[in-house]
Chain A
């Protein structure tokens, strides 16, 4: 593992620059849309807008750089997308001043928005269009925090690139488009004209990208002429040559492949603010041929390849996620734009996909230690243990990367959804934990769904107790229910009601994007948009999935289990008394609250009483969603992940029967409620594996450890075994948070929130909160020595 001075400088620069809001894209977009477009179709107009952006945006080549190109005019100068979601002056002021995740907004930028951007886009953005088109009941549910809406300020993206750019250049794409245009059948294909519009739009985007890369070549050549240091001069000349060739023609070298991808990344993220940025996916598979060829012919060394990858990594870190507005800002407070580079897994033929580039990428992840890009290992039973073990060495350094995925489960999940076996094996995970057939699928996440809130509304017969408004259906007064089955039936009815509202909204929003915001550049890259002459947003991809992400399964399970156990099974608590206690947030009912928390079987302990409830609730969610049609010739699936939405959803959910106070966060992912699991990590894995992961498109499980737990080589072997065990049970994903001293101090202050924290004591492990204060102090002291 080596880090050159160059990389150290670039990395430090990337870390030190504060994110700011750039108005460049907004200004260009406004200038373009002010022009009279004449009689052009919407796909062509969007392509012309893209061409205008790529022709005028600032070209940025920084000293030391080997991979070039920025989304904004400079690193972390973050563009905005007023045609999708136009920031108000109030939004800009909040962005500029908030404590967490701020974006600097200069007085000039504010003025530009005030005088130019806002007046033009007011009333014209997609966000406004979407809210205009939603029904009153949709708005009521949205305002109540039943679900969120991903598309209200970012465009559908949720896709990852496959391998085609490594085999073909944009000029090849151009020829392909011409071939498809010639083959259009205006006699028997009634959609031939629409296809022509799409294909012509794609063709304009090819030209736009090539021209953009040539602008970079020109700039590099100019800088080279001015450069006095001979080494840098040579580098700039090489960059100029690569930029002339890279996206136009298929890459031939490692360096060309990386620069080509980066241009494509800039194109996708400039065209629209697609969700989950964009990412190269299975990078070790894609780069292997270039790496081997370079090593063989002597044009590349491992160190050189590593340096190029490090420069590539820094490029991702220079691009914060687009600044958000409204609820989305609260629900997803992070600069991360969820590009997730996959390492390992299977080859398309189904063989062990771990190769020398896999280990090289792990070295880069460790040495760069950056927020972006995110990274994951894809673990197949065919992969060697030493690969997983190398990843665990990085995991124990405690920055949450790489996360760990079950490649064999992902293949099964994708095949269940109808993908071909080759496409499934070429897929992987992206964003947080979502599965996709890379290069061939639009797998659109549409919003989080607050399952515990729906249970709360069920307990209140359709009324949201927070506002007193009736937003659900009347499913009966729970005080009249004779058994748990009645309550479950009421919950399922209530949930289906809200899922239906969400899907009705999605069906409109999908069409709005298909009609008004086609993405011809992205459509170039994802098969089979070109062959079908259909846009990415309009069913052009080979596979089209729509997701609604369930949040709070652990909380929901414990809530329902508590009611079943105390009210219906043991009959030690009346529904009336429970509802009374909930309505007062347990004020005056502390003993009842503690009993609900501590004397109830809970999910996460390998206890079938609670875990069977979890399975039933999982099944209800699955049945309400999976297989229902979307507007893109595809169907709905479920996944279970929260990002940080469990905090927002908790804030709108009152006291719950698992003893949780109103407003506190819900459980995250498929993890147990914070502190509910008391039987160790193996019991959590057993509980979590009782749901059928294979019928989801992703689940998220978090485990927390301290560095001591992973101190020795033998400890890492055990972690590898733990991963293998969970994956034998078809678990989808697991990530390990290695807690630092700060977390331990917080656990000492608030043990109830850190019940699940496991620490290495002395040759054995224990729950941190169960140790004596003196021993806790000792471990905190030790942790301070070993954390980074």
Chain B
């Protein structure tokens, strides 16, 4: 059986019919209470590992009301919250939820605005501004830097990012994340082509070189994360 995603109306009848769950609707509609019930199932493990819940995406800030309610409920219950975000959002939205976020996992990809537009489709200005704002308000932040060979791993970009992070008032810690191709199946699943089919993960030596650039700026850096 083949699904032509272009004309699919996402009615879900095929997934109900398929006995082996070869096709699935990714994502489902849930209420805040339902999500909290799922989260509560893991409280024991949060207690044992000093862990908590991470809201990621997609981009969780695109559902600000839902996110805000979830974050607040977690905070009331003493569950540690992390927000994994691209930072591409109006400041008012971040400002609304930020007091319920214990940890920001904040992506930085490219410092060159032109390149940022080319690869992500948007300017990085608002991303950098939001990060500076958060940092100046003493939020706990970890910078997430994806090392994508040929795109983000050139010396200029790495140095520029390290310099920027070091200039932030709170000088946050950095996780450098090696590229991996495990998302390719998702592209197939939605009938889209994967634009980097031949890209290989960076070598250990490249990862070490990049880590050293951050360390030079007196930043704490973790590889893998």
Q: Which residues of A contact B (CB under 8 A)?
A: 590-591, 593-595, 597-599, 606, 682-683, 686, 712, 718, 721-722, 724-725, 728-729, 761-763, 766, 770-772, 774-775
Contact = CB atoms under 8 A, between A and B. Distances in A.
B177 to A, nearest CB: 7
A712 B177 CA distance: 16
A725 B44 contact: yes
Nearest to B225: A763
A606 B188 CA distance: 30
Interface string B39-79: 00110110111000000000000000000000000000000
A778 to B, nearest CB: 9
B41 A762 contact: no
A725 B180 contact: no
Interface string B177-197: 110111011001000000000
Interface in B140-199: 177-178, 180-182, 184-185, 188
A761 B182 contact: yes
Interface in B1-46: 19-21, 41-42, 44-45
Contacts of A772: 182, 184-185, 188
Contacts of A771: 182, 185
Contacts of A590: 19
Contact of B44 (A593, A729, A775): A729
B196 to A, nearest CB: 13
A775 B42 contact: no
Given A761-B180, A762-B180, A763-B178, A725 B19 contact: no
A173 to B, nearest CB: 47
B54 to A, nearest CB: 12
A718 B21 contact: no
A578 to B, nearest CB: 15
A683 B45 CA distance: 10
Nearest to A766: B182
17 contacts: A594-B20, A599-B19, A606-B41, A721-B45, A721-B49, A725-B47, A728-B44, A729-B44, A761-B180, A763-B180, A766-B182, A770-B185, A771-B185, A772-B185, A772-B188, A774-B181, A774-B184
A683 B44 CA distance: 11
Contacts of A728: 44, 48
Q: Which 8 A-B pairs have the closest CB atoms?
A: A594-B19, A762-B180, A721-B49, A725-B48, A721-B48, A772-B185, A763-B224, A595-B19
Contacts, number: 58
Nearest to A682: B45
Given A721-B45, A729-B44, A763-B225, A598 B19 contact: yes
Contacts of B49: 718, 721, 725
Contacts of B42: 682
A376 B41 CA distance: 29
Contacts of B20: 594, 598
B37 to A, nearest CB: 11
Contacts of A766: 182
A775 B181 contact: yes
Contacts of B182: 761-762, 766, 771-772, 775
A762 B185 CA distance: 15
Contact of A598 (B21, B47, B224): B21
Nearest to B16: A599
A591 B184 contact: no
A682 B49 CA distance: 12
Contacts of B188: 772
A763 B48 CA distance: 21
A763 B19 contact: no
Contacts of A721: 45, 48-49
A284 to B, nearest CB: 26
Contacts of A763: 177-178, 180, 224-225
A594 B17 CA distance: 11
- Identify which of A595, A770, A772 gathers the most chain B CB atoms within 10 Å of its CB: A772
A712 B178 CA distance: 16
Contacts of B201: 762
A762 B178 contact: yes
Contacts of A683: 41
Contacts of A774: 181, 184
B204 to A, nearest CB: 13
Contacts of B47: 725
Contacts of B225: 763
- Identify which of B19, B47, B178, B180 gathers the most chain A CB atoms within 10 Å of its CB: B19
Given A599-B19, A721-B49, A763-B225, 17 more contacts: A591-B19, A593-B19, A594-B20, A598-B19, A682-B42, A686-B44, A724-B48, A725-B44, A725-B45, A728-B44, A728-B48, A729-B44, A761-B180, A762-B178, A763-B177, A770-B185, A772-B184
Contacts of B48: 721-722, 724-725, 728
A712 B225 CA distance: 11
B39 to A, nearest CB: 12
A608 B184 CA distance: 34
Contacts of B185: 770-772, 775
A50 to B, nearest CB: 51
B208 to A, nearest CB: 16
A313 B52 CA distance: 43
A606 B225 CA distance: 28
A66 B184 CA distance: 59
A593 B20 CA distance: 10
Contacts of A594: 19-20
A599 B20 CA distance: 8
B9 to A, nearest CB: 22
B187 to A, nearest CB: 10
B99 to A, nearest CB: 29
Contacts of A591: 19
Nearest to B222: A714
A51 to B, nearest CB: 55
Contacts of B45: 682, 721-722, 725
B221 to A, nearest CB: 14
A591 B20 CA distance: 9
A725 B46 CA distance: 9
B22 to A, nearest CB: 10
Nearest to A717: B49
- Identify which of B21, B47, B48, B201 gathers the most chain A CB atoms within 10 Å of its CB: B48
A607 to B, nearest CB: 10
Nearest to A761: B182
A771 B184 CA distance: 10
Nearest to B179: A762
B202 to A, nearest CB: 11
B183 to A, nearest CB: 10
A593 B178 CA distance: 42
